Amino acid sequence: DNGVHASASPFEALAERMNWLRAPLHTDPFGAALLGMGVPEDMIQDWTKDPQTLVVGRQKGSVFDALEDLDRAPCLDKIAELAAHTAIPLDVNQAFVFIKPHAVTEATKALLAQQFA
């Protein structure tokens, strides 16, 4: 039986230190590097639970799998890429809606307020 574990990436190692050793994100060297790059703390915390997120284009997959077998620098680069794609969910329809100047009436405002409530 295998009684030894080694993390598959620096990010997975961070997640395991936070989980098993209760290591604070801010004092962990890799965690501090992520925060210093501007990766939001709540995103890092969420990713330590290995959620499905956008990893390649519009494909969803495991964060841990996307970072597996990467050394520190490539792992940081990949995390920056994933964080940029995750910041704006690409699987949610989005639109910019406004009332054209000639159509600004109380009836139009009420209609939009009702539709987007």
Regarding pTM above 0.85, the answer is: no
How many other CB atoms are there within 10 angstroms of residue 113's CB atom?
A: 9
pLDDT at 93: 53
State the pLDDT confidence band at 46, using cuts at 50, 70 and 90: very high
φ, ψ at 77 (rounded to 5°): -65, -45
pLDDT at 90: 44
By percentage, how much of the chain surpasses pLDDT 90?
50
The closest alpha carbon to 13, from 40, 51, 45, 48, belongs to 48
Residue 54 DSSP SS3: strand
- 103-115 average pLDDT score: 89
d(CA 81, CA 90): 14
Q: pLDDT digit string (tens) for 56-86?
A: 666 788 899 999 999 999 999 999 988 887 6
Query: Radius of gyration of the chain from Cα atoms?
Result: 21
